[in-house]
């Protein structure tokens, strides 16, 4: 079963605005956020996932979004280089955690932004990686060279979907959810060119961050979505676990942002 890294939201909050979801005037309710996170953690555990925890730290409100801290493949972790100064303070914490756990650490040059699994998701043997808002396209080339893997680079064009994991979600090796208007035409052609099944979301599901789902085999954990999407997933044999995570949407995150896969296989 899968292994994920989470970070308790003890110091979570909206303390700056670095995406269109964040509004200093609309801060999350911490007690509610804690309950929602705890429900996610319990659901993951119940479904058999192993949960590792990163120690929260005051002054780093986005540390809960562990997906952005690194990208793991086998026993190696490419550490993130956050684009925004506000999040760069998280880098040493991820570095320390991964080093302590015995991962081989790889870092990209300082001037090349890369936001971990937020912008790079494995889909079968390919790495689907995004650029445009947070990660620099040069990181894709480096990752491809480091791991000798094919990387499909996709351009994000809608500010609301500033990370790949907000508009794309591999369900298994052959299927993925996506929100087409988040990508430019070339990227859509590239995605479709892979010849796999792409399930398109409508805008309502997309802005509810239905793509920001954690997938554990046939179990999919996400924010409540439309009946239509539920139906599409059920028809394909997936079991949906709908969890309200609205407090995290206020910072532009949801289920997937709150967890980082620690066991991506080497194909």
- CB closer to other proteins, 30 vs 112: 112
What is the number of other CB atoms lying within 10 angstroms of the CB of residue 57? Answer: 14
- CB closer to other proteins, 34 vs 112: 112
Q: Is 108 in the site for other proteins (CB under 8 A)?
A: yes
Stretch that binds other proteins, among 7-15, 43-51, 184-192, 251-259 (CB under 8 A): 184-192
CA dihedral 49, 119, 172, 169 (to 10 degrees): 100
Which among 57, 111, 107, 61 is positioned nearest to 80, based on CA atoms?
A: 107
Distance CA 232, CA 109 (A): 42
Instruction: Clarify whether 257 is annotated catalytic.
Output: yes
- CB closer to other proteins, 33 vs 191: 191
Q: Least CB distance from residue 95 to other proteins, whole Å?
A: 11
Binding-site size for other proteins (CB under 8 A) equals: 34
Q: Per-residue x/- marks for other proteins, 131-170, CB under 8 A?
A: xx---xxx-xxx-xxx-xxxxxxxx---------------
Q: Least CB distance from residue 5 to other proteins, whole Å?
A: 19
Instruction: Clarify whether 163 is annotated catalytic.
Output: yes
Stretch that binds other proteins, among 27-35, 129-137, 198-206, 229-237 (CB under 8 A): 129-137
- CB closer to other proteins, 42 vs 159: 159
Q: Identify the three-state secondary structure at position 93.
A: helix
The single residue of 163, 169, 211, 225 carrying the catalytic annotation is 163
Phi and psi of 184, rounded to 5°?
-85, 170
Q: Is 110 in the site for other proteins (CB under 8 A)?
A: yes
Residue 229 DSSP one-character state: H
Which among 219, 224, 221, 255 is positioned nearest to 239, based on CA atoms?
A: 219
- CB closer to other proteins, 15 vs 126: 126
Bridge pairing between strands 214-216 and 197-200: unpaired
Q: Least CB distance from residue 188 to other proteins, whole Å?
A: 9
Q: Where are the alpha helices (DSSP H) in the chain?
A: 30-46, 85-88, 91-100, 137-147, 185-192, 203-207, 227-235, 246-249
Q: Is 187 in the site for other proteins (CB under 8 A)?
A: yes
The single residue of 7, 167, 169, 257 carrying the catalytic annotation is 257
Binding residue (CB under 8 A) for other proteins from 15, 107, 181, 198: 107
Instruction: Dump the DSSP string for 12-73.
Output: ----S-SSTT--TTS---HHHHHHHHHHHHHHHHHTT-EEEEEPP-TT-GGGG-GGGSEEEE
Bridge pairing between strands 214-216 and 219-222: antiparallel
- CB closer to other proteins, 154 vs 182: 154
Catalytically annotated residues: 163, 257
Q: Which residues bind other proteins (CB under 8 A)?
A: 99, 104-110, 112, 131-132, 136-138, 140-142, 144-146, 148-155, 184, 186-187, 189-190, 193
């Amino acid at each position: 079963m899968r292994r994920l890294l989470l970070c308790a939201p003890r110091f979570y909050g909206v303390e700056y605005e670095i995406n269109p979801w964040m509004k200093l005037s609309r801060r999350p309710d911490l007690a509610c956020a804690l309950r929602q996170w705890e429900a996610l953690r319990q659901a993951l555990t119940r479904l058999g996932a192993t949960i590792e925890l990163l120690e929260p730290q005051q002054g780093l409100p986005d540390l809960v979004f562990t997906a952005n801290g690194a990208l793991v493949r086998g026993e190696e972790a490419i550490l993130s280089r956050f684009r925004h100064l506000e999040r760069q303070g998280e880098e040493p914490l991820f570095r320390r955690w991964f080093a302590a756990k015995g991962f081989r650490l790889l870092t990209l040059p300082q001037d090349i932004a890369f936001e971990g699994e937020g912008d790079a998701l494995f889909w079968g043997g390919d790495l689907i990686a995004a650029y445009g808002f947070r990660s620099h396209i040069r990181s894709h080339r480096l990752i491809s060279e480091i791991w000798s893997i094919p990387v499909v680079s996709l351009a994000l064009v809608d500010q609301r979907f500033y990370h790949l994991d907000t508009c794309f979600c591999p369900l298994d090796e052959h299927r993925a959810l996506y929100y087409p208007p988040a990508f430019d035409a070339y990227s859509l052609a590239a995605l479709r060119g892979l010849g796999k099944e792409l399930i398109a979301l409508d805008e309502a599901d997309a802005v509810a961050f239905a793509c920001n789902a954690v997938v554990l085999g046939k179990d999919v954990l996400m924010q409540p979505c439309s009946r239509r999407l539920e139906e599409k997933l059920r028809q394909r044999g997936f079991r949906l676990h709908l969890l309200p995570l609205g407090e995290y949407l206020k910072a532009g995150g949801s289920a997937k942002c709150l967890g980082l896969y620690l066991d991506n296989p080497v194909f």
